[in-house]
Amino acid sequence: MSVTAVIGLQWGDEAKGKIVDLLTDQHEIVVRYLGGNNAGHTVKFDGQTYKLSLLPAGILRPGVQSVIANGVVINPKALLEEMKSITDRGLPIGENLIISDRGHVIFPYHHAEEAIFEASRGDSKIGTTMRGIGTCYRDKIGRAHAIRVGDFVRPAVLRKRLEEIVPYKNQILKCLDPNFKPFEVQALYDEYMGYADQLRPRVVDTTTFLHKALRDKKSILFEGAQGSLLDIDHGTFPYVTSSNASACGIQSGSGVPSRAIDRIIGVVKAYTTRVGGGPCPTELLDEIGQHIRDEGHEYGTVTGRPRRCGWLDTVATKYGANLAGVDCIAVMLLDVLGKLDELKICEAYEIDGERTTDFPSHVDDLAKAKPVYRTLPGWKKDITGVRRMADFPKEARAYLDSVSELVGAPVEIVSVGPDREQTVLS
Ligand code: GDP
Ligand code: IMO
Ligand code: MG
């Protein structure tokens, strides 16, 4: 039995999906515990590409139990579409998927509110995925206007909650946007009842399920979404997502105590990417940044937005690793750097003339941070066929050694291409 967590240590899109998929054959249960369809996890094997947003990557392996736990915010329409896209490809979804009755449900008014809030920030907008994630979490914390999955699958409760909430939302939205067209309780009820009827058989108390699984010594894999630096408490606030995207979200998002976790694998892209607003000290706004974007196909899985690209920032990543409490790291997309003559790794920041390796707690300080780089020679070779650590060119090994030293954790997995097979284990 082992309980493992896979956590992104940067600003998301570190290729967590690939690592989770790789580990699903050693685990009986895969759990998504935070975020919603803001996540986009890509898995490639046998010439097939799967893009998962809400479904845990365990859904791709027959016999694995997939769990959408209480910390997830669920857009039921998006979930049903995603489930259909998977069953259309011949993979079954039935009892192998369970959804927590404690999860929270996203409604169209969450999207409307998000659009207004984002517009109100003008040039300093967060750059959210516009999936109603933050506004749904806001209602969860506020309690008065939240609808949980357990409410949504009970017709009388759903109706009552919509009757209480929708007039309030209409009033607020009308004040904020005079052109706003009010939501109708009946139309929302009819639409959501249609989704509830399809999802009801999958809804259970996943917390109790996971407690029993722990007692039965089942192996469990936690599939992180987003990344440590997007954590609502510890990330680059306010340019973050609205949940605990570092490992501290596991306990609140699933009900599994952190002491039950045996191993935390931190997933690190060999360089830096970020989508949306907020400072990114190592961002490259030149031809090297564009080269990395082209080689790594760095366009968002969810929104298609070009990702901001830069050198690996180990001040930020080490902080992410400390938040997650990693046992080891997986270095992803190393192949993408294979054509560059020389590579840089940020090993410290200079802020107001002072050198530091501490990650600033205020974004304004992070915005002032000038990266201090270590320069290494490139390997200038195609490494996509490498399958053993010993077979990497010596320059690639030196790069990995620097990453391990600066992030402060051993590199146990290296990924050299998107396919399941293109993986090197230490
Ligand atoms: P996630 O959100 O952390 O699961 O990551 P995404 O799926 O959003 O983005 C990672 C992207 O990199 C996907 O398109 C993967 O197919 C791709 N990918 C994963 N590992 C590698 C790798 O080692 N090399 C290359 N070139 N691409 C990779
Ligand atoms: P995965 O799981 C990368 C970013 C958005 C935005 C900020 C807030 O695929 O790694 P939100 O819609 O969550 O309120 O947006 O967070 N963001 C992600 N960036 N990968 C993700 O997920 C992300 N999920 C949210 O771009 O900057
Ligand atoms: Mg992604």
Question: How do residues 77-103 score in pLDDT, each as one tens digit?
Answer: 999 999 999 999 999 999 999 999 999
Beta strands 308-310 and 272-274 are antiparallel
- Exposed e or buried b per residue across 54-79, where buried means at least 16 C-beta atoms within 10 angstroms of its C-beta: bbbbbbbbeebbbbbbbbbbbbbebb
Residue 386 Cα, ligand 1 centroid: separation in angstroms?
A: 17
Residue 129 Cα, ligand 2 centroid: separation in angstroms?
A: 6
Residues of the chain with pLDDT under 50: none
DSSP code of residue 28: S
Beta strands 73-74 and 48-52 are unpaired
Residue 50 Cα, ligand 1 centroid: separation in angstroms?
A: 11
302 lines ligand 1 (CB under 6 A): no
Q: Which residues line ligand 2 (CB under 6 A)?
A: 8, 11-13, 38-41, 126-129, 131, 133-134, 225-227, 230, 241-242, 275-276, 301
Q: At what angle do helices 76-87 and 185-199 cross, to 10 degrees?
A: 40
Spacing of C-alpha 302 from chain mean position: 11
Active site positions, annotated: 13, 41
Which residues, 6 or more positions from 56, have their beta carbon under 8 angstroms from its beta carbon?
20, 30, 31, 32, 66, 67, 68, 223
273 lines ligand 1 (CB under 6 A): no
266 lines ligand 1 (CB under 6 A): no
pLDDT of residue 303: 78
Angle formed at CA 304 by CA 6 and CA 109, multiple of 5 degrees: 85
Residue 55 Cα, ligand 3 centroid: separation in angstroms?
A: 13
Which residues, 6 or more positions from 302, have their beta carbon under 8 angstroms from its beta carbon?
37, 38, 39, 40, 53, 129, 131
Where does residue 354 rank: exposed (0-12), middle (13-18), buried (19+ CB within 10 A)?
exposed
pLDDT of residue 1: 62
Ligand closest to Cα of 303 equals: 2
pLDDT of residue 304: 84
CB 347 within 8 A of CB 406: yes
